[in-house]
């Protein structure tokens, strides 16, 4: 199980926290607005009313032990900048911050954000490319309980063949493709004799609960 914190529970932050929680992760949701914290409470491990621009209070939460922290505050740029700065100073290794524009993104990167999120831009690009360069995977109608994901191999998988691992029998998960990064190559429907390397990315299809079992091995 991974641990995440989401600071700022507007539309993006709320749904990010909810999705992470539903995937079986531990999620701490934080906002200064009591009504927003109340709304996310059923969809998080812990929901906290807190002013995240208070450095000492932020430090007390132990966020440096999280796998990642998402900063999704409102339109006041100084708020997200201060929060990212304080998160970096308390030792958070992975900070994902929502930016309003390119200049905001540059500032966030300078004060500690490791990844910038442009929700509207990213969704616009995804929708447009889906129209102009459709990928067959986008048209697979998956039920809610199924996932199609890319996963780095757990250490126990490395050096073993797909036939030896027998993931279909053990986890009821199908490896439908493998992305080889060294050298770059894409193997569709790999043979049972394919030996997994630590640089490979597995494209797997299966029930969400079974995919989570494999992710937990990492």
pTM of the model: 0.67
Contact status, residue 83 vs residue 65, Cβ threshold 8 Å? no
pLDDT at position 17: 95
pLDDT at position 215: 85
| Short-list 12, 36, 7, 30, CA closest to 121 | 12
SS (H, E, C) 44-55: CCEEEECCCCCH
Low-confidence residues of the chain, pLDDT below 50? 136, 139
Mode of pairing for the β-strands spanning 46-49 and 3-7: unpaired
* Residues counted in the chain: 218
Domain 3-123 and domain 139-215 have a common topology: no
| Short-list 167, 216, 173, 171, CA closest to 196 | 167
pLDDT at position 137: 52
pLDDT at position 125: 75
| Short-list 182, 178, 170, 180, CA closest to 217 | 170
| Distance, CA of 34 to CA of 9 (rounded, Å) | 10
Kindly calculate the radius of gyration of the chain based on its CA atoms and give it in whole angstroms.
20
CATH class, domain 139-215, is: alpha beta
| Distance, CA of 137 to CA of 29 (rounded, Å) | 32
Helix, strand, or coil (residue 213): helix
Burial 154-174 (b: 16+ CB within 10 A, else e): beebeeeebeebebeeebebe
The residues spanned by each domain of the chain are 3-123, 139-215
pLDDT at position 33: 95
| Short-list 98, 144, 88, 101, CA closest to 119 | 98
| Short-list 57, 94, 65, 58, CA closest to 3 | 65
Instruction: Write the CATH number of the domain with boundaries 3-123.
Output: 3.40.50.720
């Amino acid at each position: 199980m991974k641990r995440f914190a989401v600071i700022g529970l507007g539309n993006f932050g709320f749904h990010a926290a909810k999705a992470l929680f539903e995937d079986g992760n531990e999620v701490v949701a934080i906002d200064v607005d009591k009504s927003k914290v109340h709304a996310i409470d059923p969809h998080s491990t812990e929901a906290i009313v807190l002013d995240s621009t208070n450095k000492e209070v932020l430090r007390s939460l132990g966020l440096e032990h999280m796998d990642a922290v998402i900063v999704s505050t409102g339109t006041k740029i100084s708020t997200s900048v201060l929060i990212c700065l304080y998160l970096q100073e308390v030792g958070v290794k992975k900070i994902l911050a929502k930016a309003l524009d390119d200049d905001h993104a540059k500032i966030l990167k300078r004060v500690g954000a490791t990844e910038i999120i442009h929700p509207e831009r990213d969704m616009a690009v995804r929708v447009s490319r889906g129209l102009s360069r459709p990928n067959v995977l986008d048209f697979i109608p998956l039920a809610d309980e199924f996932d199609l994901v890319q996963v780095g191999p757990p250490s126990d998988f490395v050096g073993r063949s797909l036939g030896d691992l027998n993931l279909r029998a053990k986890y009821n998960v199908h490896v439908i493709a493998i992305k080889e990064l060294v050298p770059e190559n894409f193997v569709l429907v790999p043979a049972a004799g394919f030996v997994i390397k630590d640089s490979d990315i597995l494209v797997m299809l299966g029930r969400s609960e079974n995919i989570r079992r494999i992710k937990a091995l990492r």
